[in-house]
């Protein structure tokens, strides 16, 4: 395979790549929504448009790999390269055409090492175990370190809701049946956002998410207007592409809960949830979660990914851990502990 590599340094150049980027992303079944252009273009526009170093690898003119990196200089003066999406993405990675991953990763690192005067450390975080970046070997004098980061609990979904319920022991199964009955009460409704209701539903999510955190004396991540704007753009793009699953639950005409999730390649990603603390006794958060699980099973999805964090409630749904990894590469003695 004859490969060529180019570097893009501007948001405009990245936007011009959107169609080819989307085509590659859709050809890569191991990709997640966090590597898609509908996620990363808004991220670049809101958080790191000035320091882009996006490497595009082609084979006979066809895009076969995109490595969306950006540069940042730390307080210690170390010049780092990171994967775009950092901070708001539960999975970070490059995307590469199936079968070309090894060759593309070798070319990427050959290119980076040829330009090692421009950086001190590659700090690639939140990599899944299957990431092609984790298989790279470095030449002598280059230091590579990989270690565990966050866990992303996941639920294996059966072929039917009946099998899902029966997978639990008696007591938790009774709790699930109670939640199911809660959804059937008069005045309870759950609907998914569409083009006409998207703005209303995502504003509801912002409000409920912040209300939940205010009861703990904290602002919550969605109190930041830049993050709200970012998620509005993401939701619009994901809805258009059929990836968005944004639910709103109402009880007696009052907003009770909202759940912000994505669907791609047989998986449902549970990104954010909010509920009305005044209705906590009616279990709106757990009820809307159960609805989303049942919807995933009806869609024929094989996995519910609850994303980063080992919160106890995730394991009550039968989740198991999947670990993310961090890969650091330096070309000189450099102490991570000193940073």
Residue with more model confidence, 49 or 113:
113
- Cα separation of 185 and 264, whole Å? 31
* pLDDT band (50, 70, 90) for residue 83: very high
Q: Is the pLDDT of residue 54 over 60?
A: yes
Question: Nearest Cα to 249, choosing from 307, 297, 291, 221?
Answer: 291
How confident is the model over 177-186, as a mean pLDDT?
92
Q: Is the pLDDT of residue 211 over 90?
A: no
- Cα separation of 310 and 90, whole Å? 13
Q: Is the pLDDT of residue 69 over 90?
A: yes
Q: Is the pLDDT of residue 163 over 90?
A: yes
Q: Which residue has the tokens 């993401």?
A: 234
- pLDDT tens for residues 287-296? 999 999 999 9
Q: Identify whether the C-beta of residue 302 lies closer than 8 Å to the C-beta of residue 156.
A: yes
Q: For position 262, what pLDDT does the model report?
A: 98
Q: For position 137, what pLDDT does the model report?
A: 83
* pLDDT band (50, 70, 90) for residue 221: confident
Rounded to a whole number of angstroms, the distance between the first and last alpha carbons of the chain is 40
- Cα separation of 13 and 7, whole Å? 10
- pLDDT tens for residues 14-44? 999 999 999 999 999 899 999 999 999 999 9
CA distances from 269 to 34, 81, 84, 321, 338 (A): 10, 27, 19, 14, 35
- pLDDT tens for residues 301-338? 999 999 999 999 999 999 999 999 999 999 864 544 44
* Mean pLDDT for all residues in the chain: 93
How confident is the model over 229-253, as a mean pLDDT?
97
- pLDDT tens for residues 5-15? 999 999 899 99
* pLDDT band (50, 70, 90) for residue 208: very high
Q: Which residue has the tokens 């593309």?
A: 104
Q: For position 286, what pLDDT does the model report?
A: 95
Q: For position 90, what pLDDT does the model report?
A: 97
Question: Nearest Cα to 136, choosing from 150, 149, 122?
Answer: 122
Q: Is the pLDDT of residue 339 over 50?
A: no
How confident is the model over 123-128, as a mean pLDDT?
96
Q: For position 219, what pLDDT does the model report?
A: 66
Q: For position 263, what pLDDT does the model report?
A: 98
* pLDDT band (50, 70, 90) for residue 223: confident
Q: For position 336, what pLDDT does the model report?
A: 47
Q: Is the pLDDT of residue 152 over 90?
A: yes
H-helix or E-strand spanning residue 114? helix 101-114
Q: For position 138, what pLDDT does the model report?
A: 86
- Torsion angle in degrees (nearest 10) through CA of 45, 49, 55, 61: 50
* pLDDT band (50, 70, 90) for residue 49: low
Q: Domains in the chain, please, with CATH?
A: 3-149+323-333 (3.40.630.30), 154-305 (3.40.630.30)
């Amino acid at each position: 395979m004859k490969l060529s590599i180019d570097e893009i340094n501007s948001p405009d150049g990245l936007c011009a790549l959107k169609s080819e980027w989307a085509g590659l992303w859709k050809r890569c079944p191991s990709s997640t929504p966090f590597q898609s252009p509908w996620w990363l273009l808004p991220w670049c526009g809101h958080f790191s448009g000035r320091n882009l170093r996006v490497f595009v690898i082609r084979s006979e003119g066809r895009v076969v790999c995109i490595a969306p990196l950006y540069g940042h200089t730390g307080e210690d003066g170390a010049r780092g390269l990171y994967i775009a999406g950092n901070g708001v993405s539960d999975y970070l990675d490059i995307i590469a055409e199936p079968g070309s991953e090894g060759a593309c990763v070798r070319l990427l690192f050959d290119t980076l090492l040829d330009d090692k005067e421009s950086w001190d450390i590659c700090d690639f975080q939140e990599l899944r175990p299957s990431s092609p970046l984790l298989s790279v070997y470095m030449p002598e004098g280059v230091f590579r370190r990989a270690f565990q980061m966050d866990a992303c609990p996941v639920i294996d979904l059966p072929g039917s809701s009946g099998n899902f319920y029966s997978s639990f022991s008696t007591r938790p199964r009774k709790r699930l049946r109670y939640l199911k009955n809660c959804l059937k009460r008069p005045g309870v409704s759950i609907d998914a956002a569409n083009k006409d209701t998207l703005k209303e539903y995502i504003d509801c999510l912002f409000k409920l998410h912040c209300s939940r955190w205010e009861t703990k004396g904290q602002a919550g991540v969605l109190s930041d207007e830049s993050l709200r704007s970012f998620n509005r753009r993401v939701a619009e793009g994901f809805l258009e592409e059929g990836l968005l699953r944004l639910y709103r639950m109402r009880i007696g005409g009052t907003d009770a809960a909202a759940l912000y999730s994505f669907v791609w390649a047989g998986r449902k990603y549970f990104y954010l949830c909010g509920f009305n603390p005044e209705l906590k006794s009616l279990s709106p958060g757990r009820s809307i979660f159960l609805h989303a699980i049942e919807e995933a099973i009806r869609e024929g999805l094989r996995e519910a990914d609850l994303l980063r964090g080992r919160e106890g409630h995730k394991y009550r749904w039968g989740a198991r851990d999947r670990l993310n990894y961090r890969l650091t590469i330096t070309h000189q003695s450099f102490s991570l502990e000193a940073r």
